A = this chain, B = another copy of it.
Amino acid sequence: MDIEDPPIEALDLPHPARDDIALTQVLFALSDPVRLELVREIAAGPKEMAACDALRPDIPKSTRSHMVKVLREAGVLRSEPLGRCRLLQLRRADLEARFPGLLDAVLTRS
């Protein structure tokens, strides 16, 4: 029996460091209604991307992947491999540290 190589982190997608999160980019990422809805869902708790499929089955996976990319690159979400899935998490602490109160203001439903 060969010893297996450690897992390749091939699908480790880039996330901005906390201090590199830019306000205008965050605002832009949240300025799309569908992306904002996605963020609200994830704010309720970490979600597998596949779970978001069920919520909006009308959106093709390539489109959804692009939406998540915009949010990830803005520093709003973290997207980590989890088995065959991806776990989406809101970067609450980072956003709160960088822009105190912003997330609450945006996520509060009125």
The distance in angstroms between the C-alpha atoms of A33 and B106, with both chains bound, is: 19
How near does chain B come to A68, taking the closest CB pair, in angstroms?
A: 18
The distance in angstroms between the C-alpha atoms of A28 and B24, with both chains bound, is: 9
Most buried by B among A31, A104, A110: A31
Say yes or no for A53: interface residue by CB 8 A criterion: no
**Binding site secondary structure of chain A:** helix
Q: Who on chain B is nearest to A30 by CB?
A: B27
Q: Say whether B105 contacts A100, CB under 8 Å.
A: yes
Contacts of A23 in B (CB 8 A): 36, 106, 110
Chain A 3-44: CB-based contact to B (< 8 A → 1; otherwise 0): 000000000000000000001110110111100100000000
